[in-house]
Amino acid sequence: MNINIKDFADNIYFQDGIWFSKNNSEISYPKGGNMNCFEIEKDSFWFKHRNNCIIEAVKNYSMDEIFFDVGGGNGYVAKGLEENNIQTVLIEPGFEGALNAKERGLKNIICSTYEDAGIKLNSCKAIGLFDVVEHIKDDKGFLKSINSILANEGLIYITVPAYKLLWSKEDNDAGHYRRYSIKQISSILEDNGFKIEYATYIFSILPIPVFLFRTIPGLLGFNRKSNNLNKHKQEHSQKKGILSSYLDKIWIKELNCIKLKKKIPFGGSCFVIARKIVDNTESIK
């Protein structure tokens, strides 16, 4: 079934296989960030495992809904969802990201912020914000606004970096405003019209190496160039061997937890699914 993008957005036009908005708002994301991610994604254990976690969660809760991947970069998540028969619309303000997503074969791409695209109120039944919220200065206002475009009882899926304690120069260079705990991101969602359906940490093994190899060197003043592409490729690669086999077992265990809706008590990222609370006052009028 084809998706009629105009059913959801009214401030866009179509050109060369991509939908564009007539406005262009500023975003907190480093120049060249999408191209760097594009180079890393295909061989990255981190992107692969995050995708697998997202796909299993969406299968649990929104398998039959059109999924809006807001701020979805190069379409890595959207492509994974579509390969699992989940219809997806990518909303990505970065032109490079939109072009990379087109190169990946995605058909439903909006190169815009969701605000500039004019996404209609109460129109989306499933929205993903995967490592997006930490780039938003006013995260509370942003999530309140996202609530307005969700359909009643629609679902929002969020991943964000975990623990303020793990802050490093990489966060500064990536354009992050903050890191979160499950309690913090859940509280913000609940204060802005959402009910938590499922919340867990993922990447349970990563807090220790992140603290040792990113946080501590930063505290000691060893501020290496964290945007070095080759360095990031090395960090994201999972070499073959005993350690790789051990990590694979951890990733499989985490995926099984998500399939069974069980919680992982700690990890390098928070993963939260929340439902929009129905405003019954409207139906009473």
One digit per residue, pLDDT tens: the chain, 285 residues?
689 999 999 999 999 999 999 887 766 566 667 887 888 898 899 999 999 999 999 999 999 999 999 999 999 999 999 999 999 999 999 999 999 999 999 999 999 999 999 999 999 999 999 999 999 999 999 999 999 999 999 999 999 999 999 999 999 988 899 999 999 999 999 999 999 999 999 999 999 999 998 999 888 887 655 456 566 666 676 666 677 899 999 999 999 999 999 999 999 999 999 999 987 654 433
CATH number at residue 268: 3.40.50.150
Distances (CA, A) of 43 to 196, 211, 235: 33, 23, 11
The total number of structural domains in the chain stands at 1
* The two three-digit tokens of residue 133, written as one number: 């919220």
The domain in which residue 133 lies consists of: 5-284
In terms of pTM, does the model score above 0.75?
A: yes
- Report helix, strand and coil shares of the chain as percent, to nearest 5: 45, 20, 35
Element containing residue 35 per DSSP (H, E): helix 33-41
